[in-house]
Amino acid sequence: MLLPNRNKIAGQDIYLLKWFRPRRDGSDPMNTNDIKALTFDTGGTILDWHTGFATALKSVGEVHQIERDWGGVANDLRRRSLGKMANLGEHAPPQYNFDDAHRMALDEVCVANGLDSFTEKERYSIWWDAVHNLTTWPDFPAVLPKLRQQFICVSFTILSFRIVMDTAKRNALSWDAVLSCEAIGKYKVLPEAYEGAAHYLQLDPQQCCMVACHNWDLDAAKAAGFKTAFVRRPDEWGDEGPPDPEPNPKHDLIVDNFLALARELGLPASE
């Protein structure tokens, strides 16, 4: 049965068309033998964008002797940039990528927050330098090699290829592949994005498990046939907290961190 599913991206309501299939009573735990690939949301689930943006904004603000709630400004920048990316490509081929969205969103944020004195070079240090040098959450780097022993591990993201490549170098991450919606031409949460990722991996969607801290991404992945794993990131939006913190109980796995995810997938993951 096809039903509308209400969800949120950065606090904004979105609607997905989703096939709801009845679940068996007392359904079995997810059979990890069926999973061939783990596809990871990267901005937010892997990378700490909030600290990166807030630190870069504050640094430029100090040059101009400007005081703001830099954490709040960082979240405003994130919301605006996400709003430019969600469902991009639905009606026409995308004309920009996430780097462009960061640049455009930062210009809007500067106007809205009285930061017009920020120079072009200083803005570049925020929307490019800071983003391409984001650090990972501390629980991920040591677990990725363990996961790669059993699964194809892929960054499947709305971020640009270049952001993922640069942050991988910055954090010594070895992805098996990077699948950016930039190449697929359809951005999450369009079903074609998830179908395209499975196609490039030469796998059926049910052989892929989407790993993310966002219900909107996971719900869309599940609607496309993926298995789903929710990893909590309570600090993703700083003190404000995530806009959609409670995992959908329909997700196959719900864990607090990547060590727990590795254990749930049957891998030994020592502290």
pLDDT for the residue numbered 15 = 40
User: Which residue is associated with the tokens 């809205």?
Assistant: 112
CA distance to 154, 197, 199, 212, per residue, from 202 (Å): 13, 9, 5, 21
pTM equals: 0.88
Closest C-alpha to 36, from 208, 196, 154:
208
- Please provide the average confidence, as pLDDT, over all residues in the chain: 91
Report residues of the chain scoring pLDDT below 50. 1-6, 13-27
The helix (run of H) or strand (run of E) holding residue 200 is helix 191-201
**Residues sharing a CB contact under 8 Å with residue 133, sequence separation 6 or more, in sequence order:** 52, 166, 167, 170
**Residues sharing a CB contact under 8 Å with residue 178, sequence separation 6 or more, in sequence order:** 154, 155, 157, 161, 164, 165, 168
pLDDT for the residue numbered 17 = 37
Sign of CA dihedral 76, 41, 90, 22: negative
